[in-house]
Amino acid sequence: MKKLFITIIILFVPVLVTCQSQTDTIYLAFWNLENLFDTIDDPNINDEAFLPDGEMEWTQDRLDKKMYNLVRVIRAMNDGNGPDILGVCEVENQAVLDSMINKFLPDLKYKTAYLESPDNRGIDNGLIFKTEKFKLLNVQADTVHLSDGWPTRLIFGVNLLTNENKKITVFVNHWPSRSGGQLESEPNRIAAAQTLRNSVDRIFQTDSIASIFIIGDFNDEPVDVSVLETLEAFPIKCDSLNLDYEIESVGELFNLSYEVYEKGEGSYKYRDTWNMLDQIIVSESIIIGNDFNYICNTFEVFRPEMIMTRSGQYEGTPFPTYGGKRYLGGYSDHFPVTAKFKIIRSSD
């Protein structure tokens, strides 16, 4: 049995991204949007709190303000060009996501890929992508079955085709929360991890060098059992001096967020502790393949000043829409995470 905790050291080749054409790279991001609800009652889900007469007093003005805030951050990514691919979670439906990009981001020519989850609150995972760079092939989903039968978010997969005729698969995740305690709720995230691992393995059975990107809010960190042992997403580091790696078998996954996590950074702060709950994981072909390459050390927790709480007890944390039930008019309680990848052309 191979060791579950390994560190891969890969050669760091400096890449001046700003000198490259935007078509030469993929800028990938993920963001938990924190309760992006519309203002319309859906009798099939528990959205009563986020209605104009609900306890959160969620009005169209507040929704517009939230969408405007989110878009400010999205536009700031990728040197002001917006991400090429953005995975999101905590969205009520595709209509509200489409409304945001059509109203505030029409110039970036985004489209959405989306499926409704069985989650009781009606919060789903979705994907936004630039139509100038990608064609939507299809979507897929796997249901996570928890031991208590409680419905949770789907493992949502999207297949895209690049302008270079290269296929990629992006899995967007929002695993069960730590409600009730981290250890007590851990089996739920292990179930989600196993469901995702099964989905990934099915792809590898027919394409051993598939280009797979896994993004999401995992509600666990890179070294927790669900991510490290069940999903088998191994730590990876970029190093400027060493080239020392060996892929042990088909189907390896590598966690780009590990190195930043190891430095004590995080995307979400709980009490006094930063947690790296939002992560980007890739298949081995993204590390050593012939179609895409991870650009070393580009994984980051994206924290522009506009999204930060600027004073008080929560200084430096993400500025949320609500503090409990008190409306603050902010962005989200999570920071986004981002990474860059080079598209390898036949002449490269």
Find the CATH number of the domain harbouring 297. Answer: 3.60.10.10
- Residue in 37, 40, 34 with CA at minimum distance from that of residue 53: 40
What per-residue confidence (pLDDT) applies to 240? 40
What pLDDT digit, counting tens, does each position of 103-156 carry?
A: 999 999 999 999 999 999 999 999 999 999 999 999 999 999 999 999 999 999
What per-residue confidence (pLDDT) applies to 230? 98
Residue 18, pLDDT > 50, answer no
Strands 8-11 and 134-142, sheet pairing = unpaired
Residue 5 lies in a domain: no
Residue 291 lies in a domain: yes
Residue 9 lies in a domain: no
Residue 48 lies in a domain: yes
User: In the numeric block, which tokens belong to residue 101?
Assistant: 């990009």
What pLDDT digit, counting tens, does each position of 244-283 carry?
A: 445 555 689 999 999 999 999 999 999 899 999 999 999 9
Let me know: does 29 contact 83? Beta carbons within 8 Å: yes
Residue 1 lies in a domain: no
More confident residue, 288 or 254: 254
CA 274 to chain centre: 17
Expressed as residue numbers, the domain containing 93 is 21-343
What pLDDT digit, counting tens, does each position of 174-205 carry?
A: 999 999 999 999 999 999 999 999 999 999 99
Which neighbouring-strand residues pair with 22? none
User: In the numeric block, which tokens belong to residue 66?
Assistant: 């939230």
CA geometry: angle at 234 spanning 248 and 345, to 5°? 75
Residue 66, pLDDT > 50, answer yes
What pLDDT digit, counting tens, does each position of 34-59 carry?
A: 999 999 999 999 999 999 999 999 99
Residue 11, pLDDT > 60, answer no
Residue 73 lies in a domain: yes
Give the length of the chain: 348
Question: What mean pLDDT comes out for the span 304-329?
Answer: 95
DSSP designation for 20: S
Let me know: does 165 contact 205? Beta carbons within 8 Å: no
What per-residue confidence (pLDDT) applies to 346? 66
Strands 233-239 and 253-255, sheet pairing = parallel
Residue 12 lies in a domain: no
Which burial class, exposed, middle or buried, applies to 326 when counting CB atoms under 10 A from its CB (0-12, 13-18, 19+)? exposed
Residue 14 lies in a domain: no
What confidence tier does 1 reach under pLDDT thresholds 50, 70, 90? Answer: very low
Q: How far apart are CA 335 and CA 320, in angstroms?
A: 10
Cα pseudo-dihedral 113, 140, 200, 15, rounded to 10: -20
Number of compact structural domains in the chain: 1
